[in-house]
Structures are given as C-alpha cells and as structure tokens.
Structure 1
C-alpha cells in the first residue's frame, strides 16, 4: 500500500515537472543531477538518462555555472 502511494506521488511529481515550461532539476551535494524535467531535455537537446549523474557545470557550461 505504501509503495503504491509513493509510486503515485512520483508520477504526479513527474507530470508537474514536465508540464512546467521552466528548467527544473534536482542535484545532489556534489552538484550531480538526480532528475531533470522535459523542458531541460529539450533546452539542452539531451535525454534525462544522459544527464543523470553528470555534474551540472558539464551540462550547462562553465560560463553559466
């Protein structure tokens, strides 16, 4: 029951993130990506799977960082 509720919340979060026309990402304390939204994928023309685990400055560029 708790797993199903968690899965449902995860799906809701994904829908909200992907519907937002702003760049949204979650990074860890090492500044590595944990999650990005669809806008992030479109903006940088790279899939979320390719972004996950990479350092933020490697994706957005040193100038933007």
Structure 2
C-alpha cells in the first residue's frame, strides 16, 4: 500500500508540469488529458476513493495534506 508521504512526494514532483500547463488549462477550461494521465499514473486520483472500490481509502485530512 502506498504511504501518504509517498503521495506527497509524487504530488510535489508534478508541480513543475502543472505550472507549465496552467495557462493552457485555463484556456481550455478543462484539465488536459496529460494531466489526468499524470494523476492516474501517480495514484493521486485513488487517494480518497474508498478501498472497497479499489482506492486507497485515505481520510480527507490526509488527502488535503497531499
């Protein structure tokens, strides 16, 4: 199981790419596919998803730290 600390590291590693895409994201008025792909590949989208549905089932206080 992925530890919350690992997710924080993964999220911080995405920051440069997210900053680079920020202007394009606002122009599109949606999240670009590559950003969604990044969030999927890092497991960040599964953080708050209940474990019974294949997610990590983390509490919201942990998700907000990420």
Question: So what's the TM-score if we normalise by structure 2?
Answer: 0.31
Which structure carries more strand by proportion? Answer: 1
Question: So what's the TM-score if we normalise by structure 1?
Answer: 0.31
Larger RCO (CA under 8 A, 6+ residues apart):
2
